[in-house]
Amino acid sequence: MFTINKKVFKPKSFRRDILGVEQKVPTLGGKYLPYINFDNAASTPALQPVVEEMQDFLQWYSGVHRGTGYKSLLSSQFYDDSHETIANFVGADLDSQCVIMVKNTTEAINKLSYRLRFAPGDVVISSMMEHHSNDLPWRNKARLKYARVDQQGLLDLGDLKKLLQLYYPRVRLVTVCGASNVTGHLNPIHQIAEMAHAYRAEILVDGAQLVAHHPVNMMKESDPRHIDYLAFSGHKIYAPFGSGVLIGPRKTFLQGEPEYSGGGNVDLVSRNKVWWTGLPDREEAGSPNVIGAFALARSLQYLQKMGIEKLALYEEELLLYARERLQKLPGIKIYGSFPRVAVISFNIKGLEHALLGSILCFEAGVGVRTGCFCAQGYVRNLLGINEESISAIYEGKEPALLPGMLRISLAAYNTREEIDRLLKWLERIIAHQADFKKNYLFSPSFGAYIPRQWPRQAKTLWPFILPGWS
């Protein structure tokens, strides 16, 4: 039990509300073990109470907006209310800002990259620690400049300020992650916002790794520390039902035309003119993901009631415990510094990250992630690989065999006992490297290391086996 300000956060109670948390999975040798999900930075499981509410709501579901049936009116109200719930969770001001429902963070950032209507010579400043989704969308829209990171992977705020000064007044946007999906580093988003605003630029925060693990307040537009744009995904905050969010100033989305057009975002159409409807419908063409929006809103309400600050403190406790245990392993290299959200990426000398991940999967029943986590530039920087050597290293190699890391990412439903089980297996693998290595081979069709006895045990290990994987 973890007590904060006389209010009690009960991890076991929260864990019971996680769907599938006690699901057992098959492992080599025929044992079924309770699955340990240490891949929460990629996606989180659903909340059982929210799923139950979804099932109830599905009885009343119908197409939203302009329908005259009772179910349509009710569904429209739920969908519209979800925008307000989301805004309240992150402190957005709906008088000046707008919540737009999208599929995920990637779509949100791509949408914004089109809607900012850059002029030739406009500059966007990003950083060397970004996910590809906060890098690639800007490359063909504006002059993209990158603020450096230090050897630990921390954003160099001095370099960011130099870029703002150098390219003033052409900088339109500073875009940074709230928290890194590789190192977990937390960026001082309000300090960065104040810096950007001082040079008449706006700020976008990629909140994919932040919103589920740390309180967020976008603040009033009158505050120089306010966040202009925020993007995040439902599937990383216990609502894996295909909804994401882009929040930004209404004035941005009232200028020009939406990049998608069709049903739902017009008031009137003639042969020669289109009258666009109001926000947010203007930016949400087509039939929306009503169920996904409903689930995201309900998940945020659940977390708000639970107390996101309390969840964050419990996750920090787990993080420190995991770090303490991991640091004792021989040959381990942990990347980045602390404090951070509950993400740890590491390598162990003599063991390929992809092989280690597969052993944990097939033998320990532990889910992790390996590779570069869609942040190749940042990972290469942390590994000490320079840009000039990329072609020589990457030419003709399978993606899973390229330089990378193994990542564990914790959430508030994880436990010390699960960390202990992971460490027990890591100790065993390190002590018996040769034995484990000879029992695995790389499968190009699977894109990963698999047990050598896979052809004989595939159906046992993988009940939903796909053609060609055996």
C-alpha to C-alpha distance for 4 and 248, rounded to whole angstroms: 33
CATH of the structural domain 53-305, one choice from 3.40.50.300, 3.30.70.1150, 3.40.980.10, 3.40.640.10: 3.40.640.10
C-alpha to C-alpha distance for 172 and 164, rounded to whole angstroms: 10
C-beta of residue 13 within 8 angstroms of C-beta of residue 49: no
Q: What is the pLDDT along the chain (470 residues), one digit of tens a residue?
A: 333 333 567 889 999 999 999 999 999 988 999 999 999 999 999 999 999 999 999 999 999 988 889 999 999 999 999 999 999 999 999 999 999 999 999 999 999 999 999 999 999 999 999 999 999 999 999 999 999 999 999 999 999 999 999 999 999 999 999 999 999 999 999 999 999 999 999 999 999 999 999 999 999 999 999 999 999 999 999 999 999 999 999 999 999 999 999 999 999 999 999 999 999 999 999 999 999 999 999 999 999 999 999 999 999 999 999 999 999 999 999 999 999 999 999 999 999 999 999 999 999 999 999 999 999 999 999 999 988 888 887 877 777 778 999 999 999 999 999 999 999 999 999 999 999 999 999 988 888 999 998 756 656 666 655 555 44
C-alpha to C-alpha distance for 428 and 436, rounded to whole angstroms: 10
Q: Which two tokens stand for residue 192?
A: 């960065």
CB atoms within 10 A of CB 92: 26
Spot the catalytic one: 98, 177, 372, 374.
374
pLDDT of residue 470: 46
Between CA 440 and CA 444, with CA 441 as vertex, the angle to 5 degrees is 140
Q: Please, which residues bridge with residue 232 across strands?
A: 245
Is the bond into 34 cis (omega within 30 degrees of 0)? no
Task: Based on the residue annotation, tell me whether 374 is a catalytic residue of this protein.
Answer: yes
Between CA 343 and CA 348, with CA 347 as vertex, the angle to 5 degrees is 130
325-331 contacts, C-beta under 8 A, 24 or more apart: 325/419, 325/420, 325/423, 326/423, 326/426, 329/423, 329/426, 329/427, 329/430, 330/430, 331/430
pLDDT of residue 18: 98
Fold agreement (11-37+307-458, 53-305): no
pLDDT of residue 468: 52
Q: List the domain boundaries for the chain.
A: 11-37+307-458, 53-305
Q: What single string gives the DSSP state of each residue in 40-100?
A: TTT--PPBHHHHHHHHHHHTT----SS--SHHHHHHHHHHHHHHHHHHHHTT--TTTEEEE
C-beta of residue 209 within 8 angstroms of C-beta of residue 242: no
C-alpha to C-alpha distance for 363 and 439, rounded to whole angstroms: 11
Q: Which two tokens stand for residue 305?
A: 């009631």
Q: What pLDDT, in 10s, does the model give residues 252-264?
A: 999 999 999 999 9
Single pTM value for the model:
0.94
Tell me the C-alpha to C-alpha distance, in Å, between residue 111 and each of 71, 98, 115, 166: 31, 14, 6, 27
Q: Please, which residues bridge with residue 100 across strands?
A: 246
pLDDT of residue 394: 80
pLDDT of residue 461: 60
pLDDT of residue 439: 95
Write the CATH number of the domain with boundaries 11-37+307-458: 3.90.1150.10
pLDDT of residue 427: 99
pLDDT of residue 464: 57
3-state DSSP assignment of residue 146? strand
Q: Please, which residues bridge with residue 171 across strands?
A: 123
Torsion angles phi and psi, residue 186, rounded to 5: -95, 125
Mapping DSSP onto H, E and C, the string for 248-259 reads: EEHHHHHCCCCC
Burial code of 352-366, b = ≥16 C-beta within 10 A, e = fewer?
bbbbbbbbbbbbbbb
Q: What pLDDT, in 10s, does the model give residues 183-209?
A: 999 999 999 999 999 999 999 999 999
CB atoms within 10 A of CB 31: 11
